[in-house]
Chain A
Amino acid sequence: MVVVPKTRKEMPVTALSVPTIGSAGKTGFWRDFKPVWVELVSPCTYDCPANNSIPKIFEKVRNGKLDEAAKIFLETNPFPSITGRVCPHLCERHCNRGEYDEIISIRSIERFLGDYVLKKKGERGFHEISAETGKKIAIIGSGPAGLSAAYYLRKIGHNVTIFESEKKLGGVLAYGIPPYRLPKQIVEKEVAALAKMGIKIKTGTAIGKGVTFEVIQKEFDVALLAIGAWKERDIGIPGEEFMMSGLEFLKEVNKGLREPPGMAVAVIGGGNVGIDVARTLKRLGAEPTILYRRTEKEMPAIDEEIQKAKEDGIEFRFLTQPVEASKRNGKIVLKCIKMRLGEPDATGRRRPIPIEGSEFTLEFDAVIKAVGERPDTTWIPRKFLNEKGWIKADPATGFVGENVFAAGDLVSGPATVVEAISAGRKTARSINQYLRGEEIKLEAPLEKPVKIEKINIEYYEPKERVKTFELPPEERTKSLDKEETLGVSLEEVESEADRCFSCGYCRSCRICWIFCPDSSIEIKDDSKPEFDYDYCKGCGICSNECPCGVITMQREEE
């Protein structure tokens, strides 16, 4: 308590140690600007299709709390062990650390935590599941979108059944992506963990054959379609019957096929399926050639995969368009035409234009086409489809009509695993709102990400990005089943987490506190700063020095 002397006699012998109250009073009124602690969106979170809270996860890693770090991952992505391997990691694209030395290897941390949590997932009580709601949900298709939705819906306490036409769950994870990129035991473990959560699994059950969709609709409160895009598109040229489908080929390989269809194999298409097919063929001992009608720059495949395919020694023939296929002496003869690039089309890529009179022929033992995939919607009731045969779903909420929802490639067309996982989570959210009888509302869009100007880079030492070890091409092309990228150690993960600028998320470093000239920042138990606005003079040092950009100066109202 502050003693206020009233008479001369009451005046103390020495001055009393209390915050001054006399003439100066509370120094907060000197202020024009006040510091406010605001968490901002990091570029990695912004760019990640699943909006994983990467800086938050790294902060837990820095504090040695791996369980908590993994659990934050699971809030937006239930399968980091899978995305840690196959994701193109758009999150790393605009990493602010890249403007200082090297971008953060988010992928290696994701993979490490994914593998770490995979061991724990089987443990009882790791996933907290809310009380049973009694609502029954059918999920048709068990690719990343279906599994992701199943995870989130089950966590809320719904009764979830997955229907899968194949023998194993996983969709593209089990039957599409080749094992050198994604070992199948990882998918199996993830699926086993889901089963332990109490999700019912019906494999070998194709809806439309035997059980009709109408029955599913009637028996369940909600039906979620997550069937992916498994139908190979036609090129639309004569002789296509001599070609195999890229997806079918990958499916056979994932089921155990280890014989290439021939020695010289043409792969038509420059997407991810095309690259997967070509690299798989190489590992089976064949000599694949990729034919693509535009140039490398326009290839829709993941850049890293294109580079790896080149390292593997796969031949690329760009600006080459097959116009006719025929069979001669057991070989397939492809008549092709040379292309040139014209003006950009709707996708922003330059349109290929045939060069007249430039036809030539190539001879192969087999030809595999992978020119794009689309969903097989033939068994879905007409009322849910548009005139082009695509599902009539709201791309953001996944709502189709009646009690039907859809997610993943079925809605978006062929996309990445992480996009399907994100769609699964968002649709699970919509389904939950629907079941509660609420209006289906979207999550608020993220604010623009933090720029490097907001970060005080003086607090970081230059340090190299952790290197992931990859098998050299001559070794990796020998085996289809050996994973080609290896994981990193805990020390490396910690080093990487330490390099992170933690853009817009407090590192609990107390830099603001140590530099406050007015003793007006208090560090609370959770290590976050709190400002005493009664005394803060608004100098702005805390905001200027913050290594993460979480303190913003705001003009005081008059």
Chain B
Amino acid sequence: MMESIKELSKEEYLLKGHIACAGCGLTISLRLLFKALGNKLVMVVPACCTSVIPGPYPYTSFAVPVQNIIFEATGATASGVVAAFRQRGIKDVPVVGWAGDGGTFDIGIQALSGAAERETNFIYICYDNEAYGNTGIQRSGATPYGAWTTTTPTGKKERKKDMPFIMAAHRIPYIATACPSYPMDFINKIRKAKEIKGTKFIHILAPCPTGWRYDTSKTVEIGRLAVQTGMWALFEIEYGKFKLNSPSDRLIDKAKRKPVKEYLSLQGRFRKLTEDDIEKIQRWVDEDWERYRKLALNQYV
């Protein structure tokens, strides 16, 4: 990994001076997006942390074209940009929808579903920090079981939606999960999505020190633990074909996965979990992996 990082461009399109919290996982993800695509892209960003962090008008920390739009309209607006590009004969500029988990799992799901059904040629990236972040950490459809948010003060009682598989049910050509802790896997998936025609959905785990209650220096470590414990699996579904990616592909054997407790115990939002809760989460993770094992074996979703 160290070798391939050296080959990445030194050009920065997320300029310093943005106002994201210290240790923000989403801004690392944004930088990786620009490492993958350069500045030749159009971003469609709904209400979410990303619409706040460039700072107040008349300045912005984005050095790429960004369209800030309303919460529910990422899929719809991206469809419009794609249609306009088609009209004008612009073929080589990828359109990237970049939304948080609230704007994807809950509020924006209808527009995204419609765009996917229309086979709109764009990349939809959901950076998932498992809560409504910029409004002060409220629960979303992506908040995991047991996690504290301001609206779930004793911990969320319901499980998280399985968004990549909801998108798989749309039969789109490319679905992938990624995590900024594995930057080369992240960048390669975005580059791959760019080359595929149709709707591409990339789901990113973006650890959030503010909402998850952990030390700002541990963002990359938490992401890595999410993968190592199996709480977050790195996989691709390409034209319906399921494939686990490194290092998740080595974790099918339960003995190779770290216990989920290692991931949960580092985060204040899980402080109120009981041993029973942790056991339950471990069981769910193991069940997910049993499903991944079968999918990897049969290959098709």
Q: A20 touching B28 by the CB < 8 A rule?
A: no
Q: A519 touching B5 by the CB < 8 A rule?
A: no
Interface mask (A481-518 → B, CB under 8 Å = 1, otherwise 0): 00000000000000000000000000111110111111
Check A515/B17 contact, CB under 8 A, given A20-B55, A24-B55: no
Q: B218 touching A517 by the CB < 8 A rule?
A: no
Interface mask (A9-30 → B, CB under 8 Å = 1, otherwise 0): 0011011111111111111001
Instruction: Give the distance in Å from the alpha carbon of A22 to the alpha carbon of B19 in the complex.
Output: 11
The answer, yes or no, to whether B145 is at the interface (CB within 8 Å) is: no
The answer, yes or no, to whether A538 is at the interface (CB within 8 Å) is: yes
Q: B221 touching A517 by the CB < 8 A rule?
A: no
CB distance from A389 to the nearest CB of B (A): 57
Instruction: Give the distance in Å from the alpha carbon of A516 to the alpha carbon of B14 in the complex.
Output: 11
The answer, yes or no, to whether B95 is at the interface (CB within 8 Å) is: no
Which residues of B in the span 207-227 have a Cβ within 8 Å of any Cβ on A?
209, 215-221, 224
Instruction: Give the distance in Å from the alpha carbon of A513 to the alpha carbon of B2 in the complex.
Output: 11
Check A17/B22 contact, CB under 8 A, given A514-B183, A523-B10, A544-B220: no
CB distance from A416 to the nearest CB of B (A): 35
Determine which of B27, B57, B59, B63 lies in contact with A518 in the assembled complex, contact meaning CB atoms within 8 Å: B27
Determine which of B18, B21, B25, B215 lies in contact with A20 in the assembled complex, contact meaning CB atoms within 8 Å: B18
Determine which of A5, A12, A539 lies in contact with B217 in the assembled complex, contact meaning CB atoms within 8 Å: A539
Which residues of A in the span 17-59 have a Cβ within 8 Å of any Cβ on B?
17-27, 30-31
Contacts of A304 in B (CB 8 A): none
CB distance from A553 to the nearest CB of B (A): 8
Interface mask (A523-558 → B, CB under 8 Å = 1, otherwise 0): 100010000101101111101110100000100000
Instruction: Give the distance in Å from the alpha carbon of A76 to the alpha carbon of B217 in the complex.
Output: 38
Q: B18 touching A518 by the CB < 8 A rule?
A: yes
Instruction: Give the distance in Å from the alpha carbon of A31 to the alpha carbon of B27 in the complex.
Output: 17
Instruction: Give the distance in Å from the alpha carbon of A379 to the alpha carbon of B274 in the complex.
Output: 82
The answer, yes or no, to whether A126 is at the interface (CB within 8 Å) is: no
Instruction: Give the distance in Å from the alpha carbon of A534 to the alpha carbon of B17 in the complex.
Output: 8
Q: A519 touching B15 by the CB < 8 A rule?
A: yes
Instruction: Give the distance in Å from the alpha carbon of A527 to the alpha carbon of B10 in the complex.
Output: 11
Shortest Cβ distance from B2 into A: residue: A509
Shortest Cβ distance from A15 into B: residue: B60
Contacts of B56 in A (CB 8 A): 20, 22-24
CB distance from B148 to the nearest CB of A (A): 22
Q: A517 touching B28 by the CB < 8 A rule?
A: yes
Q: B8 touching A517 by the CB < 8 A rule?
A: no
Contacts of A459 in B (CB 8 A): 1-2
The answer, yes or no, to whether B290 is at the interface (CB within 8 Å) is: no
Check A532/B16 contact, CB under 8 A, given A17-B61, A544-B218: yes
Instruction: Give the distance in Å from the alpha carbon of A544 to the alpha carbon of B266 in the complex.
Output: 14
Q: A16 touching B58 by the CB < 8 A rule?
A: yes
Q: A24 touching B19 by the CB < 8 A rule?
A: yes
CB pairs A–B below 8 angstroms (22 shown): A11-B57, A12-B58, A14-B60, A15-B59, A15-B60, A17-B15, A22-B55, A24-B17, A24-B19, A30-B22, A511-B5, A514-B5, A514-B183, A516-B31, A517-B23, A517-B219, A518-B18, A519-B15, A534-B16, A535-B16, A535-B17, A544-B218
Interface residues of B (CB under 8 A from A): 1-2, 5-6, 8, 10, 12, 14-25, 27-28, 31-32, 35, 54-63, 180, 183, 209, 215-221, 224
Q: What would 10 more interface pairs be, CB under 8 Å, given A16-B60, A20-B60, A545-B220? A: A18-B15, A19-B59, A20-B55, A509-B6, A514-B32, A517-B24, A535-B16, A541-B28, A541-B217, A543-B217
7 tightest A-B contacts by CB? Answer: A540-B217, A19-B17, A20-B55, A539-B23, A15-B60, A537-B22, A535-B16
